[in-house]
Structure 1
């Protein structure tokens, strides 16, 4: 079935149900960023495979809303589909809400599957459309009638994350959570977000590719934990770890009937951005709802010392794997057939040789030449470029280890590169280093520091249409809130998070020139306390990524003294850390690529 055939079938179902518009987001029942195969309804209906985007179908129009990371990819993948691309945050481009307000008739009907739309998003549609008396139909997944060979829900087994990795017991985490529930004067807390549940219960799984999570919901009271999950996922080790915690198991789908049993004595703490609209609407009107961010969101963002020790170890393993790959790539390009896909496979092979490796931490982005201008490019058999000893290869990849999750980007010169490419590469390297060197007073947020990374690009009248960095979970989501580096305020309107000691955040500026090249360099940083004096508590950033920055593409004259010193110091750290794990030949090469300049 072609995309146009699928849309035609959907419109027929909409007509039968008297719906004027239908929304298909990129979400699962848990508002996850990355979703299992069963939930890829937006990709099914549109053919656009990026991780973020929303499709809206009306009787005579169709649109995809996505952000700047995916403009190039979306334009290519939507060609011939009849779906228009709406470039989010660009001038004169209507938001989804503005579009719906303009196309829906008075007393019209907006449809969507309430399980895959967040409660806050659903509430927003209600508010925007109330003047037109638009009603919302949220209790039916129309895509399920069209997608005949839809994959089943994942039933991958869960595993226990031992205290040696988690650093804190479930009992301790529940105690901290219940203290926050009491502070909010609540007796019930609904958790739908998979990373929050996995962190709280010290479990991980395989229900979402690249993200080791377990499909589940949780309702926490002052005495019990009601866990909604396919019980066959749980082994005895997990069950034994919950002894004495009053964890009560329910079938996965029973969450929707369970919340209906809550009454006026239930004061419910919930985050409307992290539970779905169907759960929210199933709560009885008599229940008192206290809408605040999940306390676990802040808890898990601040890594404990056990987690930080493990994270450093995971980055040494990842650094060994990538540096061996970088050596192999430079040595063999042009001498043997290597493509984007085979290079990606080779890098995963190097990672798989590291003890404790579980899986890649996201879909690898290995992009040659102009493909790298697409921030989230994914090579296909049709697009797979063969690498030549020239130009740049961008590799944005990472690994899940028991010791943590890594996210790393290096752009590698495969041979001679132009002066323009070197100038752009050096600007990106300067931006990354300048942010990593930041010293700042406690209370600063990522929005205060983002300019340090962008300034070298802005001085060239160049920008990149994404944030500079995101939080990273501990064997959880590769993108984790609440902290980030970005110069614009969040579209949610929520204030950016204060940078707290123990947060792990990426530092990844870039330059993307369509049809020419893309350059990104990315290290992970840990927020640490520095000196405290009469001016206040100073903070700094500890780098944990251990991989050379390709000196073949650096213009030393473009670096100031501080930048040059930082790069030389960083490369000394890389060599001293990695050399014990490399072969003699690899170390001779590594000496050259970590030399002082």
Structure 2
């Protein structure tokens, strides 16, 4: 069936069940950023493959809500489907709830699979639709009926992350979580987010695209843990480790019935942003809401994790440097495309010891494709690299020592002075934030202007955040902090900068239909001098790969900026050079020269 046929089948089912609108979010049961093939229901019913969006199907209309990152992609992928693109945050485009409140009749029914809608979203639907007496049916996974050859849930094996990588035992982590539970008056704590469960128990898996996580839920008690997971994925080593901490294994889907059977006298701690609506509606006892305590704990990396992460970045820097050399010395001698280059970079990463997989889908974008911030090449859009344009690569690797996220923009051939001016502004923006010194208590939005300043000076801006936290062999986008000039509650980034956090610094300039420039490093939040003014903080850069000097105009930089760049490139050569071939090392010497 094509998309229009799938929607027709869904509408017939809706009519049979007297449903006025069916909502299909982009999510699994755990609100994961990336999802496994089984959970790509929104892609199946609309044809749109982007990582963010919500579909709403009514008897006579179909809409796909997504944001500006995906307008171009969605426009192309929705052609001929009968699905309208609803451009979020543009003009008078209604939100999903506003649309539902307008089109669903008084006393009608809105249905969705409550396991793939967050608790907060579900409550928003309740509030927005209550005035019209609209009923919410959250028990309907109607896509499952339509999707005849739906891929099964992943059955890939899990693995245990040893303490030489995690730096802390599960017993220690559980003890810390239980202290927070006591502070909140909770006797139980339900965790539905995969990265939190995996971090807490030092488990990892292969159930999510790119993120090495395990489909699971956990309920932490004062004397044990109930882990809901497909037990066939766990080997003897994992069973032995879990038994030490009194972890009881239950079938994955049993959590819904078990939660409904809790004693009414219990008090359960849940995170409204990290729990699905169906699980929330199953809770019969007292509820305390707060952020999962594991969120801040895992964001503040311990010394073992930090040393491992720094080692991972050296490996990744070697791969990216080899890739840069390969592209810049061969693009005009052989056919290199966006897709083939992405595969080559993955190959360079795979050569590094401890590599597991890429940490997210490679974003390799040539020329005007790079103007789309989250463009990822496909067979339909793939193009060859040619001289006279920029080539943006936002990629990352997952290693046992941690996950990486790096962006470099390469100059292919010669480009005009205006592009160099923009390129240099982006480099200056990145280094300005990385050089920051600030007092403890600052948030990301206190410092964001440092990165945007050189770009705002050009009367330009980039319409996304400047940086995000990075998980340890988990979610590459990790709360609870990041850099942006405004607060977005749904991003869960509203927390001050703490020692040990690992955060990206990735400003850019994007001009629709022309080019995109982004330069991204990662750094660790570190403590500096403490005196009568307070605790000063700074950042330690941990990403090491050359910044393409072919795009730099030194006249656009101050003396201190040139000194920073020269010092950075000296470090790149010293740290990465020994791992390269003679030819690559000689090339690197030229691309890390002083300016």
Instruction: Give TM-score, length-normalised by structure 2.
Output: 0.98
1:445 CA displacement: 0.6
Counterpart of 1:362?
360
Provide Cα deviations, 1:197-242, integer angstroms capped at 9, x if missing partner.
0000001010012100001111111011001111110111111122
Q: Is this contact kept in 2: 1:68–1:466, CA < 8 A? A: no
Structure 1 range deviating more: 437-446 or 311-320: 437-446
Counterpart of 1:375?
373
Q: Is this contact kept in 1: 2:319–2:345, CA < 8 A? A: yes
**Aligned positions of 1:295-306 closer than 5 A:** 295-306=293-304
1:160 and 1:492 map into 2 onto residues whose CA distance is 31
Counterpart of 1:347?
345
Aligned with 1:425: secondary structure?
helix
Aligned with 1:98: secondary structure?
helix
1:87 CA displacement: 2.3
Counterpart of 1:25?
25
Counterpart of 1:157?
157
Counterpart of 2:54?
54
Counterpart of 1:431?
429
**Aligned positions of 1:147-226 closer than 5 A:** 147-226=147-226
1:439 and 1:399 map into 2 onto residues whose CA distance is 29
Counterpart of 1:515?
513
Q: Is this contact kept in 2: 1:316–1:578, CA < 8 A? A: yes
Q: Any runs of at least 4 consecutive aligned residues in structure 1 with deviations exceeding 4 A, and if so which?
A: none
Aligned with 2:525: secondary structure?
strand
1:2 and 1:493 map into 2 onto residues whose CA distance is 34
Match of 2:403 among 399, 402, 405: 405
**Aligned positions of 1:125-524 closer than 5 A:** 125-284=125-284, 287-492=285-490, 496-524=494-522
Q: Is this contact kept in 1: 2:479–2:493, CA < 8 A? A: no
Q: Is this contact kept in 2: 1:46–1:81, CA < 8 A? A: yes
2:593 and 2:194 map into 1 onto residues whose CA distance is 44
Provide Cα deviations, 1:103-124, integer angstroms capped at 9, x if missing partner.
2221111110011011111011
Aligned with 2:115: secondary structure?
coil
1:36 correspondence with 2:36:
yes
Aligned with 1:492: secondary structure?
helix
Q: Is this contact kept in 2: 1:69–1:465, CA < 8 A? A: no
Counterpart of 2:100?
100
1:270 CA displacement: 0.4
2:274 and 2:155 map into 1 onto residues whose CA distance is 22
Q: Is this contact kept in 1: 2:69–2:374, CA < 8 A? A: yes
Structure 1 range deviating more: 460-469 or 115-124: 460-469
1:193 CA displacement: 0.5
Structure 1 range deviating more: 485-494 or 399-408: 485-494
TM-aligned CA distance change 1:80 to 1:462, over 3 Å: farther
1:243 CA displacement: 3.1
2:120 and 2:385 map into 1 onto residues whose CA distance is 46
Which runs of 5 or more residues in structure 2 are unaligned? none
Structure 1 range deviating more: 50-59 or 394-403: 50-59
1:491 CA displacement: 4.0
1:596 and 1:211 map into 2 onto residues whose CA distance is 38
Q: Is this contact kept in 2: 1:161–1:203, CA < 8 A? A: yes
Structure 1 range deviating more: 447-456 or 80-89: 80-89
Aligned with 2:218: secondary structure?
strand
